[in-house]
Structure 1
Amino acid sequence: MVYYIARGIARLLLLVLNLKKEGLGKLPPNGPVIVAANHVSNWDPVIVGTALSRPVHFMAKVELFNNVFLGKLLTALHAFPVRRGAADRRAIRQALDLLAEGEVVGIFPEGARQKVKPDIQVHGGVALLALKSGAKVVPMACIGTDKNFPSGWFRPLIIRMGDPIILDEYRNQKISSALLEEISMRIMQEINSLLDK
């Protein structure tokens, strides 16, 4: 209930700010999906969650849940905690459970708010979840969210979705750090290509 009320309010705000949506019809209408987007602003999860027709369950840094009120709000908004900088088995298990139920899980492969650069360190979480769950990975680009809010947002604000990435060719391979890195870089290249259009 809270999720849908918050999404409705955010949609009104983004309507005023003239958010341009491109390619959102590429989101599979059902089944497990991992949405992987660039992350340059705190507004990115709001925009991704608001723009998509299906509810999105975002991984959010565990520190945000230390505040009781904020933690309850984030949980009501379908977010769940993840410890950054280490393999968080509990967060991985929760994400896999959601995907097994046919839900959409949202992840920022960079792991923190920063501009996408060719040499950026990319975390292997998206690749690991995709291989273990069989979910499609849908790349997304948030463009213009790094501008100052709200005045900077009267310049173009765009959310752009790419074609789902199907990883069937990797399914029978043994999961290794090299394989996760290869898949992760492929995902980031797809996101970068959306930013370059």
Structure 2
Amino acid sequence: MNIFTALFAMFCAIFFIVGSFYIASDYYYYSKEERISKDMAMALYSVKTNSNQIVLPYGEDMVVVIKTPNRVIKSTNLINHPIDQNLFHGTTQKIGNDTLIVGVKISSFGEIMTELFKTPIALGMFFIGLAIATWIVWSLRKTFVDYLDEELIERLKALRLTIATAKIIPQESSEEAKRIIDIILSYAKERSKEKKS
């Protein structure tokens, strides 16, 4: 695989993976905004009808508390069970004697990943990008391993030549070393031929 093909394929893989996360997060935030809008509409309606509770259709996404001198109106998700305030980002607004507290749940990466696996087009793009990246890594690994085999053969040939010409090593040790290196060379050549075919 040449470098241009590898770079182009890597660009495509990154594009598909990043694109899948973008689509999933966009869909997640769009759905969340829609749920929050419905919750706010119900909160306004509950205040208009002088209800003591604000029934939010998607109470897991937001909380609403309205404090007046006469009464406190809370969303039903606060009445039924306590809520961890660290999971919500909100604001407190004082208007005269009244106080309005609105909190919106902070999004997490896990929720976006869940949305990625729920959205077919995002999931498809993610797997296409992953497949391309895997193909690139596999192709480059194969090229690198073939290069190492050829380099190993050349170095072993050089070592054999060095041993054959050295006067320092006694004749028996030299013959034994040559025999071992010949075995290694024949094994490496067979392995290289198997990988090429």
Give the TM-score, by structure 2 length. 0.20
Larger radius of gyration: 2
Give the TM-score, by structure 1 length. 0.20
